[in-house]
């Protein structure tokens, strides 16, 4: 017992002596006496000029140091200034070998970071040339031997260092006030300021939660942009400093400046997060992000911090108005034909998938009255995207910009419309597609829509299937139903070279042309069920090249149809009336021409479409035609003929005689089809001369036949009279019958 008592007294004595020594040292030693030595030490080891303007003060209980008025300059330019620094350590925690900082105060920190015109930061010049840089200039034979060669057991040292228990470093209070950092990049002209920084945390203990508050102002000069932020949260850091948790986060930010139209926008972030560095896991819990009227909520878990993380959770964006959001953000309004669209948007999805792959399941997208549902997949290794999305109804026209008020007057007020050549040279044509980007795409897209309205056309049961791999993009299916018919198209784009090739195929079955053309372009020229077969190939990456290189065929057929604003019967009757030397009635003709089985083929050669086999059956006529369409000049040059094969009209002037039967009444269609298409076709008087020659030849043949018939009749009469005079009546009748056979009557 006496031994224990003596040991206890010895320990107490040592503590008293230590306290006395520290007290004497604090009382006797004035740290301000060492200012010159401290300044010189810094200047000898760095390129900084250290200026200690204020007093350096000691405190005993708690044991600590206070520094005031510290400034460091670099080549006479200010770098860092500190108004006050206080660090106080609880003495008794030192005695128990568990150091605890009672208070850490940092006030008035001001740092200047500058990048010169050559892109070099001033902070890189703080330290003189490093030992490594000096060593690089020393021959290898003169360099110091590595630690292993010098007989130092680095592995043993590492193990010894790691064998110690983790430091129980506890901080009672941290306060940072009036801190600022100015960053100026002279090479770009950008200036960034972080100012009014304040940080407050108390009861800081590793392994236990503690509260933290922070405020700051962040601003940039290009563009002029500022964020005033404040946040509160409970933090938890473990002893090993490899697990961090944040709970009850409540942060608010005021965003302002040029990006927001000089308006101030409020943003709020709430929730919690956990990161475990040792197990490579992280989680975001009950996250809520609010920006103006937009609110996003999410719970997300991450496993693995490498190239193939594994995700699970959900993400939701509540219904919001995009137009109101843009207005709140100071952005230009999106003008739409329907002012009531873009006012109800929403998004929700579940996030999961194996390592290295992100699956979006139960994906739901709401755009006003339209709902899309499906799933998506993204693979990190090759950035492959798979999407399967099905929507109900969507009207594209509602979202298009409204027509300009003076749009209809553009053509009337223009002094002279520009030609295609003038238009092409007025602006330089650019590439159509980013080929380098297309070559990296890996896509598997499936889209469906119950009803789509676009350009005033209504398409039902729309389906699209597209793939992309190694620079080859394929539209395997683009199908739908419209106007009592349907279509199915496919296309391939090979972008593996700088001169990509295209192939397009399409089949159109029984699509009613009258409502189609009326809804599409307000053109009511043609009615009937259209059937098209399109097979085109081309090459290039500009519109002009695609048109110039186009090759292929377009076959068409209309089983029963009608030219609704073109009376070909009247045009034919004009020619017949001329042949009959008669005058047509001016009324009762109507404005349309029905036909059966109109068919033909368009040969595509660049900008030129050529047709040589147009045929159609009309009442008493057969329509035949050939000609070309120049897409570059919007010019039509077409010659059609109406072959008379029977009675075509009740008008007496249009009676079909043997003179006009099987002749062709010519019709020409010429002009700019971008103007009034109905006025392009008319009776072709110049070619009618050839028709008249045919009619004259027919008449001559008919007249000659009449003369032969009359001569034959006169001869028959003379012979009959002579025989009747010489023979009795019974014999005369028998002879007459024989003569009829002889003369072919």
Lowest mean pLDDT among 16-25, 132-141, 370-379, 523-532: 132-141
Domain-located, residue 426: no
Rounded-to-integer distance, Cα 211 and Cα 246, Å: 10
pLDDT range class, residue 392, cuts 50, 70, 90:
very high
Do residue 544 and residue 597 come from a single domain? Answer: no
- One-letter-per-residue 3-state SS of 264-289: EEEEEEEEEEEEECCCCEEEEEEEEE
pLDDT single digits (tens) 446-470? 999 999 998 888 899 999 999 999 9
Domain-located, residue 102: no
Whether 11 has a pLDDT exceeding 90, the answer reads no
What's phi and psi for 723, nearest 5 deg?
-70, -40
Q: Is 517 left (phi over 0), alpha (psi -120 to 50) or beta?
A: alpha
Across the range 350-374, mean pLDDT stands at: 94
Do residue 465 and residue 564 come from a single domain? Answer: no
Of 723, 726, 706, the closest CA to residue 737 belongs to 723
pLDDT range class, residue 412, cuts 50, 70, 90:
very low
Q: In the block, which residue shows the tokens 């997060």?
A: 273
Last residue of a domain, which of 519, 549, 579?
Answer: 549
Across the range 356-363, mean pLDDT stands at: 94
pLDDT range class, residue 134, cuts 50, 70, 90:
very low
Domain-located, residue 217: no
Rounded-to-integer distance, Cα 458 and Cα 641, Å: 36
Rounded-to-integer distance, Cα 189 and Cα 469, Å: 42
Q: Is 573 in a helix, a strand, or coil?
A: helix
- CB-based contact 218:226 (threshold 8 Å): yes
What's phi and psi for 84, nearest 5 deg?
-155, 140
Whether 384 has a pLDDT exceeding 90, the answer reads yes
Lowest mean pLDDT among 247-256, 373-382, 395-404, 647-656: 647-656
- CB-based contact 342:401 (threshold 8 Å): no
Q: What is the DSSP letter of 242?
A: -
According to the model, what pLDDT value does residue 146 have? 47
**Structural domain containing residue 572:** 555-686
Q: In 10 A of CB 184, how many CB atoms?
A: 17
Lowest mean pLDDT among 52-66, 217-231, 249-263: 52-66
- The CA–CA distances, whole Å, from 360 to 122, 364, 385, 386, 631 equal 47, 10, 11, 10, 45
Q: Sort strands 100-107 and 170-185 into parallel, antiparallel or unpaired.
A: parallel
Q: In the block, which residue shows the tokens 């060492």?
A: 34
**Mean pLDDT taken over the chain:** 81
Rounded-to-integer distance, Cα 14 and Cα 24, Å: 15
Whether 136 has a pLDDT exceeding 60, the answer reads no
Selected residue with higher pLDDT from 44 and 550: 550
Do residue 545 and residue 566 come from a single domain? Answer: no
Rounded-to-integer distance, Cα 370 and Cα 620, Å: 52
pLDDT range class, residue 12, cuts 50, 70, 90:
low
Rounded-to-integer distance, Cα 522 and Cα 540, Å: 32
Rounded-to-integer distance, Cα 679 and Cα 685, Å: 16
Do residue 521 and residue 541 come from a single domain? Answer: yes
pLDDT range class, residue 574, cuts 50, 70, 90:
confident
Domain-located, residue 212: no
Do residue 608 and residue 510 come from a single domain? Answer: no
Domain-located, residue 252: no
According to the model, what pLDDT value does residue 386 have? 96
Whether 296 has a pLDDT exceeding 80, the answer reads yes
Residues 6+ apart with CB under 8 A from 217: 193, 194, 195, 196, 197, 226, 227, 228, 229
- CB-based contact 424:418 (threshold 8 Å): no
- CB-based contact 626:666 (threshold 8 Å): no
Of 63, 70, 101, the closest CA to residue 85 belongs to 70
According to the model, what pLDDT value does residue 698 have? 65
Rounded-to-integer distance, Cα 85 and Cα 105, Å: 6
According to the model, what pLDDT value does residue 220 have? 94
Domain-located, residue 131: no
Dihedral of CA 566/570/575/578: which sign?
negative
Rounded-to-integer distance, Cα 445 and Cα 376, Å: 9
Domain-located, residue 711: yes
Q: In 10 A of CB 405, how many CB atoms?
A: 7
pLDDT range class, residue 442, cuts 50, 70, 90:
very high
Do residue 484 and residue 561 come from a single domain? Answer: no
Do residue 568 and residue 679 come from a single domain? Answer: yes
What proportion of the chain, given as a percentage, has pLDDT over 70? 76
Whether 740 has a pLDDT exceeding 60, the answer reads no
According to the model, what pLDDT value does residue 369 have? 94
Q: In 10 A of CB 3, how many CB atoms?
A: 7
- CB-based contact 87:104 (threshold 8 Å): yes
Angle between helices 688-726 and 568-579 (to 10 degrees): 50
Of 368, 381, 372, the closest CA to residue 349 belongs to 372
Do residue 564 and residue 517 come from a single domain? Answer: no
Please give the model's pTM, rounded to 2 decimal places: 0.74
Rounded-to-integer distance, Cα 362 and Cα 640, Å: 59
pLDDT range class, residue 726, cuts 50, 70, 90:
low
Rounded-to-integer distance, Cα 367 and Cα 320, Å: 10
Do residue 729 and residue 637 come from a single domain? Answer: no
What's phi and psi for 272, nearest 5 deg?
-150, 165
Domain-located, residue 170: no
Of 576, 638, 568, the closest CA to residue 610 belongs to 638
Whether 107 has a pLDDT exceeding 80, the answer reads yes
pLDDT single digits (tens) 307-318? 888 999 999 999
Name the CA radius of gyration of the chain, rounded.
47
Q: In the block, which residue shows the tokens 């005031």?
A: 68
Whether 592 has a pLDDT exceeding 90, the answer reads no
Whether 487 has a pLDDT exceeding 80, the answer reads yes
- CB-based contact 464:454 (threshold 8 Å): no
Domains held by the chain: number: 3
Do residue 646 and residue 576 come from a single domain? Answer: yes
According to the model, what pLDDT value does residue 595 have? 87
Residues 6+ apart with CB under 8 A from 211: 201, 202, 203, 232, 233, 234, 235
Of 550, 546, 544, 548, the closest CA to residue 427 belongs to 544
Last residue of a domain, which of 549, 581, 615?
Answer: 549
Rounded-to-integer distance, Cα 671 and Cα 666, Å: 17
Whether 269 has a pLDDT exceeding 60, the answer reads yes
According to the model, what pLDDT value does residue 414 have? 43
Q: Which two tokens stand for residue 177?
A: 């006030």
Burial degree of 663 (CB within 10 A; 0-12, 13-18, 19+): buried
Do residue 580 and residue 465 come from a single domain? Answer: no
Rounded-to-integer distance, Cα 17 and Cα 393, Å: 88
pLDDT single digits (tens) 643-669? 888 888 878 888 887 777 778 878 888
Q: Which two tokens stand for residue 648?
A: 């075509």
- CB-based contact 474:467 (threshold 8 Å): yes
Last residue of a domain, which of 686, 712, 729?
Answer: 686
Do residue 589 and residue 666 come from a single domain? Answer: yes
According to the model, what pLDDT value does residue 664 have? 81
According to the model, what pLDDT value does residue 348 have? 97
Instruction: Give, rounded to a whole angstrom, the gap between the first and last alpha carbons of the chain.
Output: 167
Highest mean pLDDT: which range of 27-31, 547-551, 621-625, 688-692: 547-551
């Amino acid at each position: 017992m006496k031994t224990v008592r003596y040991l206890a007294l010895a320990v107490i004595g040592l503590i008293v002596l230590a306290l006395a020594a520290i007290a004497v040292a604090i009382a006797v030693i004035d740290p301000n006496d060492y200012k010159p030595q401290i300044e010189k030490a810094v200047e000898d080891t760095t390129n900084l000029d250290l200026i200690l303007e204020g007093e350096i003060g000691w405190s005993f209980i708690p044991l600590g140091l206070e520094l005031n008025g510290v400034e460091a300059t670099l080549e006479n330019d200010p770098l860092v200034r500190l108004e006050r620094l206080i660090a106080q350590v609880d003495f008794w925690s030192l005695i128990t070998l568990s150091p605890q900082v009672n208070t850490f105060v940092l006030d008035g920190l001001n740092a200047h970071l500058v990048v010169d015109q050559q892109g070099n930061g001033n902070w890189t010049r703080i330290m003189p040339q490093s030992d490594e840089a000096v060593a690089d200039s020393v021959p290898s034979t003169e360099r110091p031997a590595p630690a292993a060669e010098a007989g130092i057991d680095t592995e043993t040292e590492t193990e010894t260092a790691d064998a110690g228990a983790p430091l129980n470093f506890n901080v009672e209070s941290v306060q940072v006030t009036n801190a600022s950092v100015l960053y100026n990049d002279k090479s770009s002209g950008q200036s960034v300021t972080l100012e009014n920084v304040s940080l407050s945390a108390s009861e800081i203990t590793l392994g236990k939660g503690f509260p933290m508050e922070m405020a700051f102002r962040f601003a940039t000069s290009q563009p002029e942009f500022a964020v005033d932020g404040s946040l509160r949260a409970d933090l938890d850091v473990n002893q090993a400093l490899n697990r961090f948790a944040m709970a009850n986060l409540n942060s608010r930010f005021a965003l302002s400046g040029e990006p927001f139209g000089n308006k101030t926008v409020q943003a709020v972030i709430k929730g919690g997060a956990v990161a475990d560095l040792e197990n490579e896991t992280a989680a975001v819990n009950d996250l809520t992000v609010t920006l103006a009227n937009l609110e996003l909520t999410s719970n997300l878990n991450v496993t693995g911090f490498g190239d193939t993380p594994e995700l699970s959770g959900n993400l939701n964006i509540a219904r919001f108005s995009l137009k109101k959001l843009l207005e709140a953000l100071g952005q230009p309004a999106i003008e739409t034909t329907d002012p009531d669209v873009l006012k109800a948007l929403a998004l929700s999805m579940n996030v999961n998938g194996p390592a290295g792959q992100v699956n979006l399941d139960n994906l739901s997208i709401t755009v006003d009255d339209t709902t899309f549902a499906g799933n998506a997949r993204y693979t990190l290794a090759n950035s492959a995207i798979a999407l399967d999305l099905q929507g109900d109804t969507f009207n594209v026209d509602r979202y298009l910009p409204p027509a300009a008020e003076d749009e209809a007057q553009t053509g009337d007020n223009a002094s002279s419309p520009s030609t295609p050549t003038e238009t092409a040279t007025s602006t330089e044509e650019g590439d159509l597609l980013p080929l380098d980007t297309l070559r990296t795409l890996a896509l598997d897209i499936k889209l469906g829509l119950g009803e789509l309205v676009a350009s005033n056309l209504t398409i039902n049961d729309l389906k699209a299937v597209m793939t992309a791999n190694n620079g080859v993009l394929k539209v395997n299916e683009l199908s739908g139903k419209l106007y009592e018919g349907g279509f199915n198209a496919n296309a391939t784009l090979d972008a593996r070279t700088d001169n990509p090739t295209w192939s397009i195929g399409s089949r159109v079955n029984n699509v009613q042309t009258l409502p189609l053309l009326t809804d599409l372009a307000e053109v009511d020229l043609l009615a009937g069920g259209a059937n098209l077969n399109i097979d085109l190939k081309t090459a290039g990456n500009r519109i002009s090249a695609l048109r110039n290189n186009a090759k292929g065929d377009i076959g068409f057929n209309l089983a029963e149809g009608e030219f609704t604003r073109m009376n070909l019967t009247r045009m034919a009757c004009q020619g017949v009336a001329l042949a009959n030397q008669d005058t047509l009635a001016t009324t009762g003709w109507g404005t349309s021409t029905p036909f059966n089985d109109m068919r033909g083929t368009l040969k595509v050669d660049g900008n030129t479409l050529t047709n040589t086999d147009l045929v159609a059956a009309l009442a008493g006529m057969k329509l035949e035609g050939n000609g070309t369409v120049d897409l570059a000049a919007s010019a039509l040059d077409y010659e059609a003929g109406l072959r008379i094969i029977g009675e075509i009209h009740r008008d007496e002037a249009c009676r079909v005689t043997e003179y006009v039967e099987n002749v062709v009444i010519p019709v020409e269609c010429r002009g700019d089809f971008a103007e009034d298409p109905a006025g392009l076709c008319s009776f072709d008087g110049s070619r009618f001369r050839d028709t008249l020659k045919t009619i004259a030849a027919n008449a001559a043949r008919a007249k000659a036949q009449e003369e032969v018939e009359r001569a034959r009749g006169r001869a028959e009469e003379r012979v009959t009279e002579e025989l009747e005079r010489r023979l009795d009546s019974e014999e005369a009748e028998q002879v007459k019958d024989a003569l009829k056979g002889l003369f072919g009557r």
